[in-house]
């Protein structure tokens, strides 16, 4: 393994270990303060904790056994690194993560009677299910066009979430606004990255494949290939294009997931004020 690849992989594993430890500390903290929480708030926090566990563990697994899906490229020669396993873990983790945001937005929007937020909260998970289907199509067929649709849906969902949070701003307590501002800025940066870098990258890859007359797998062929074939590479040049998104995804996004366990509802008024204690 090249030194650059080794350092990057070791750093991701170290961050993942710290992330698991942070989740455990979050679980302990929630246990200790549960007596002071409103019952509704406690239920939401516990659901957030379970959803966060799915995301934290999924990202830790993918950090230890990274996969470059369409290229069938892995770092370790084992079936547990295969695309079919890695993509399955990613699907569960990503659905857990988006469910966390949907839960937060729904609780806050209900308190504030914010209609747009309620609609977006209901649509987030179904939209990401569609994105996951597009991802699976890309992974199995090796056509990057599916990734174009997948990442576009993620970007649009993030934009809708940011707009919804902006709508909650006037109804938030001033102490909650720093968190709201952070989410808005992070979400905006994510949308810019998705439509400025990620989507164009996959589009360019698909155009290049089309220009070279690449033959794609059918879905059954792709299922067999993704389950049984992987290419081991330790060269930094083979992983370099994936380093930025993987590093941010398996670190910053995980921190957000853990943080959502302890986020109070954002509205200051509404039909269920006890939830604000979450």
Quick: pLDDT tens for 74-133: 999 999 999 999 999 999 999 999 999 999 999 888 888 889 989 999 999 999 999 999
In the predicted structure, residue 274 carries a pLDDT above the cut 50: no
Each residue of 78-102: b (16+ CB within 10 Å) or e? eeebbbbbbbebbbebbbbbbbbbb
| Dihedral angle sign, alpha carbons of residues 13, 14, 16, 17 | positive
pLDDT bin (cut points 50, 70, 90) of residue 264 is low
pTM, rounded to two decimals: 0.87
CA distance 143 to 109: 38
| Strand bridging mode 73-74 / 231-232 | parallel
Of 110-124, 182-196, 208-222, 253-267, the poorest mean pLDDT is in 253-267
In the predicted structure, residue 226 carries a pLDDT above the cut 60: yes
Q: Is the CB of residue 59 less than 8 Å from the CB of residue 16? A: yes
Helix (H, G, I), strand (E, B) or coil at 82: coil
In the predicted structure, residue 41 carries a pLDDT above the cut 60: yes
In the predicted structure, residue 45 carries a pLDDT above the cut 90: no
Over residues 16-26, the pLDDT tens digits come to 999 999 999 99
In the predicted structure, residue 57 carries a pLDDT above the cut 60: yes
CA distance 1 to 12: 15
């Amino acid at each position: 393994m090249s030194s650059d690849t080794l350092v990057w992989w070791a750093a991701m594993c170290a961050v993942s270990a710290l992330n698991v430890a942070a989740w455990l500390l979050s679980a302990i903290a929630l246990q200790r303060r549960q007596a002071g929480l409103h019952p509704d708030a406690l239920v939401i926090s516990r659901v957030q904790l379970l959803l966060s566990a799915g995301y934290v563990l999924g990202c830790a697994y993918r950090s230890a056994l990274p996969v470059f899906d369409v290229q069938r490229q892995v770092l370790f020669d084992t079936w547990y690194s295969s695309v079919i396993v890695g993509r399955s873990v990613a699907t569960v983790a990503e659905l857990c993560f988006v469910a966390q945001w949907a839960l937060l937005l729904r609780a806050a929007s209900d308190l504030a009677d914010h209609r747009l937020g309620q609609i977006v909260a209901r649509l987030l998970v179904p939209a990401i299910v569609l994105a996951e289907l597009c991802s699976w199509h890309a992974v199995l067929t090796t056509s990057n066009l599916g990734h174009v649709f997948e990442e576009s849906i993620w970007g649009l969902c993030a934009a809708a979430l940011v707009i919804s949070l902006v709508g909650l701003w006037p109804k938030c307590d001033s102490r909650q606004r720093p968190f709201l501002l952070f989410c808005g800025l992070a979400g905006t940066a994510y949308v810019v990255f998705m439509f400025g870098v990620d989507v164009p990258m996959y589009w360019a890859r698909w155009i290049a494949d089309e220009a070279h007359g690449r033959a794609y797998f059918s879905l059954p062929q792709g299922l067999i290939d993704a389950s049984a074939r992987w290419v081991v590479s330790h060269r930094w040049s083979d992983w370099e294009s994936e380093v930025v998104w993987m590093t941010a995804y398996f670190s910053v996004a995980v921190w957000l997931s853990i943080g959502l366990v302890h986020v109070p509802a954002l509205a200051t008024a509404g039909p269920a004020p006890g939830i604000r204690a979450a």
